[in-house]
Amino acid sequence: MSSTSLEPKKQGLFANYQPTPGLVRAVDLAGQWAAPIMIVVVLLAAAAFAPAFFNPNNLRTVSIQIAVLGVVAVGQTLVLLVRSIDMSVSAVLALGAVIVVQTKAGNSIWVSLFQAFGIAALVGLANGFLVAKRHVPPFVATFGMLVFVQGARLAYTKGQASGTVPDLLRTVSIEQVGPIPAALIVWLLVNLIVGFTLRYTRVGRWVYAVGGNPGAARYAGINVDWVLIGAHIVCSVLAILGGLLLSGYIGYVDLRLGADYNMNSIAAAVVGGTTFTGGRGSLWGTAAGVALLVMLLNLVVVLGLPIHWQFAIQGIVLVLATALQGLRQFLLSR
């Protein structure tokens, strides 16, 4: 019997397909540059069909929305980089806003902020513990946390979130530093801090190592479990920060606050090139994905289209980005 007969035979329509290096490189570049290219396309479409998009007030609104979603998406990117996901960010976002907005008269806003961020850290710790130590699938663990946090928020507010948004949050969310919204500066600072950590520190190398190959990272002496837990803690803390910016911007808190931020934060990160399989992605790409998604959703409003088109766009963007990732993985596996 020849040795070749012992080799496993590839099955399927593309069993013998061998992509050229040029095609693999082209698909890889498309994944990295799809969001920036689409931003240019959206801007050209807006200039042609919706000039009101460039109204200064609308651009200011878009900037603040980018800042809020961008802060949450930074945290989502971190957990995706370590092969996890966080479906609880929308509930954590809303809970933190409720805690601060319902600060009782005479109580310090700083005490409420400390409580909100402390609770966020505990939620992230619980998510990370379930995923890393108990080996619960990330989607299941964080979705269960979503339900728990939503229930806790309803019990805390008795189903009626009310209160006054503190002046501090209003100032940070809607005021400007020159022509730049303060919320946008907060987002840029978050990107700078987390981006520097990922690129230039040992912790950042650990994050990419754990996402790229957890087994190899563990053999290299990296504490994989604590990297996972740390990523989830940071994700929850940034979700709280996003919730504070959002409540300060809109001026109130209701039961629907931040409901779309689970899918939007995931879509923004994936569109920006962060993979579900971990170890690959950048905050630069996520920032481009955030800008693209917010601009598309805003364009729906400016064009006067039915609001359900926003949901269609969210789904289309996520599906296309995931399909592009799948094509890239397929080509690399050949």
Q: At what angle do helices 138-157 and 109-132 cross, to 10 degrees?
A: 150
Nearest to 93 by CA among 221, 247, 302, 220: 247
pLDDT average, residue stretch 140-163: 86
pLDDT at 327 over 70: yes
- pLDDT value at position 175? 86
Question: Is residue 255 within 8 Å of 146, Cβ to Cβ?
Answer: no
Looking at residue 53, the DSSP 8-state letter turns out to be G
Q: If pLDDT is split at 50, 70 and 90, which confidence band does 2 have?
A: very low
Query: What SS3 class is residue 282?
Result: coil
Distance CA 246, CA 265 (A): 14
The β-bridge partners of 181 are: 176
pLDDT at 174 over 50: yes
pLDDT at 162 over 90: no
The β-bridge partners of 180 are: 177
Give 314's contacts (C-beta < 8 A, 6+ positions apart): 260, 263, 264, 267, 293, 297
The β-bridge partners of 177 are: 180
- pLDDT value at position 179? 86
pLDDT digits (tens, 9 = 90+) for 203-245: 999 999 999 999 999 999 999 999 999 999 999 999 999 999 9
Nearest to 299 by CA among 76, 51, 40: 51
Question: Is residue 291 within 8 Å of 240, Cβ to Cβ?
Answer: no
Least confident of 31-35, 97-101, 167-171, 296-300: 31-35
Distance CA 117, CA 249 (A): 19
In the chain, the amino acid numbered 252 is Y
- pLDDT value at position 334? 61
Q: Taking the model in full, what pTM does it have?
A: 0.89
Looking at residue 12, the DSSP 8-state letter turns out to be S
pLDDT at 7 over 70: no
Average pLDDT score, the chain: 87
Distance CA 297, CA 46 (A): 12
Question: Is residue 42 within 8 Å of 295, Cβ to Cβ?
Answer: yes
Q: How far is CA 85 from CA 77, 136, 137, 301, in A?
A: 9, 12, 9, 30
% of the chain beyond a pLDDT of 70? 90
DSSP 228-240: HHHHHHHHHHHHH
Q: How many residues does the chain have?
A: 334
- pLDDT value at position 1? 46
Q: If pLDDT is split at 50, 70 and 90, which confidence band does 168 have?
A: confident
Question: Is residue 136 within 8 Å of 149, Cβ to Cβ?
Answer: no
Q: Which residue has the higher pLDDT, 118 or 10?
A: 118
Distance CA 239, CA 203 (A): 21
Q: If pLDDT is split at 50, 70 and 90, which confidence band does 18 have?
A: confident
- Count of helices and strands (H, E) across the chain: 13, 2
Q: How far is CA 109 from CA 113, 166, 244, in A?
A: 6, 7, 12
